[in-house]
Amino acid sequence: MLESDVPHPVIAFIVAVLLFGGVGYGIYHHLTEVPEQRREVEEALFAPYFQTLAAGRIDEAWERYTTSSYKESFPLDVYRTQWRAALSSSRFDRKLLNVNMSHDAIERQTFLLVTYGFSLDHDYIHAVYHVVRDADGGQRIDWSGRLYTGRPLTDSEPW
């Protein structure tokens, strides 16, 4: 009879099954659910948001696509100044970089953490957004900030 160094082969088997199951679910999640989240947040929120801004309707974008918490953090005049400066660039390209589900334990709030890259004339911006659902189930921007290269924290800015 062969002897094993594993005291309980059944436990080792169960651990292996759980490990492979977790890896399998992770692969499944990133192949199915993540692309759907990316498509939904782009089509339902950010495409119309950026179209409204590009059309020069900055006040409407602030009013229609952001939460009351966002509006408290970034009053309309601050928001207007930021977007007028960004849109005055002859080049304004955007690219959706990342969408992740996140949770704030202090606020007890779940949100999508969305990152965009903006290319302007002489700048590249990593804009980070917290996206939440409103009472009607629509998506709204609840917070935004900018991630500066070489710094671990995101500065709160009205993007």
pLDDT in tens, 90-102: 899 999 999 998 8
Q: Show Cβ contacts of residue 34 under 8 Å, excluding neighbours closer than 6 positions.
A: 99
Query: Taking Cα atoms as reference points, which of 97, 99, 93 lies closest to residue 54?
Result: 93
- Please tell me the predicted confidence (pLDDT) of residue 22: 66
Confidence of residue 33 (pLDDT cuts 50, 70, 90): low
- Please tell me the predicted confidence (pLDDT) of residue 36: 85
For the ranges 12-21, 55-64, 110-119, 136-145, the lowest mean pLDDT is seen at 12-21
* Radius of gyration, alpha carbons of the chain: 21
Ordered domains of the chain (ranges, CATH): 9-156 (3.10.450)
